[in-house]
């Protein structure tokens, strides 16, 4: 199962572009609301998550991938969540994929997960990563995929499709949605 965590103040595009392309690829994706199912994004868009964090059962449905969208204060709300920490730690233990975009890679940096990796983030958060900072818009380092921000959210999602479903599927979706 793929879990995309939504905390109040999350960046909407960074969450839903990856959800969209992953579902187009046929992947099972669940949005998880931190603190409940009703979550409000950074730009006032209210959404109902598929699950509240209290309903998440990582043993029954272990993560294949966990995605952390950025946004403020969404990123700080993700970092404060013990459920998000447990999900990320489960990914590390299972050698599953982790993905974060914009300010959210800083959460992985604070938790020491990016040590020895290369990552990117929204400009100004580089010192929070604790690793080598890349120059591309989307960077994969082992099982960790990071991206700079909302403007590359579709490319970020397509990279997630690439690692989970293959380059051919990613390219097929890229073409179908008219993404250069």
Cα dist from 59 to 5, 39, 144, whole Å: 17, 25, 21
pLDDT score for 130: 96
Q: Where do the domains of the chain lie?
A: 2-176
Predicted model pTM: 0.97
Count CA atoms closer than 13 A to 57's CA, side-chain side.
Answer: 4
SS3 172: helix
Q: Would you state the structure tokens that stand for residue 37, as one six-digit string?
A: 């199912």
CA–CA separation, 79 and 72 (whole Å): 11
Token couple for 27: 């992947």
The CATH class that applies to domain 2-176 reads: alpha beta
Sequence-ordered list of residues with C-beta below 8 angstroms from that of 32, at least 6 positions apart, any chain: 3, 4, 5, 6, 49, 50, 51, 52, 53, 56, 83, 87
Tokens 């993404």 appear where? Answer: 179
pLDDT tens string, the chain, 180 residues long: the values are 999 999 999 999 999 999 999 999 999 999 999 999 999 999 999 999 999 999 999 999 999 999 999 999 999 999 999 999 999 999 999 999 999 999 999 999 999 999 999 999 999 999 999 999 999 999 999 999 999 999 999 999 999 999 999 999 999 999 999 998
The answer to whether 17 and 153 have CB atoms below 8 angstroms apart is yes
Q: Give start and end residues of each alpha helix (H) in the chain.
A: 12-24, 74-79, 82-94, 105-110, 153-165, 167-176
Those residues whose C-beta lies under 8 Å from the C-beta of residue 127, and which sit 6 or more positions away, are: none
What is the C-alpha separation between 50 and 4, in angstroms, rounded?
10
Rounded Cα–Cα distance for residues 9 and 75 (Å): 8
């Amino acid at each position: 199962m793929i879990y995309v965590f939504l905390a109040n103040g999350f960046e909407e595009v960074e969450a839903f572009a990856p959800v969209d392309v992953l579902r187009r690829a046929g992947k099972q994706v669940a949005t998880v609301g931190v603190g409940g199912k009703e979550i409000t994004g950074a730009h006032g868009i209210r959404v109902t998550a598929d699950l509240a964090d209290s309903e998440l059962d990582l043993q029954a449905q272990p993560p294949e991938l966990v995605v952390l969208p950025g946004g403020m204060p969404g990123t700080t709300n993700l970092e404060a969540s013990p459920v998000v920490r447990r999900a990320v730690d489960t990914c590390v233990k299972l050698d599953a994929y982790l993905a974060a975009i914009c300010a959210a890679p800083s959460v992985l940096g604070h938790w020491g997960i990016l040590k020895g990796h290369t990552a990117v983030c929204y400009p100004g958060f580089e010192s929070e990563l604790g690793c080598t900072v890349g120059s591309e818009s989307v960077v994969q380092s082992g099982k960790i995929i990071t991206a700079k921000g909302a403007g590359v959210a579709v490319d970020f999602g397509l990279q997630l499709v690439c690692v989970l479903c293959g380059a051919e599927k990613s390219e097929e979706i890229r073409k179908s949605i008219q993404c250069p």
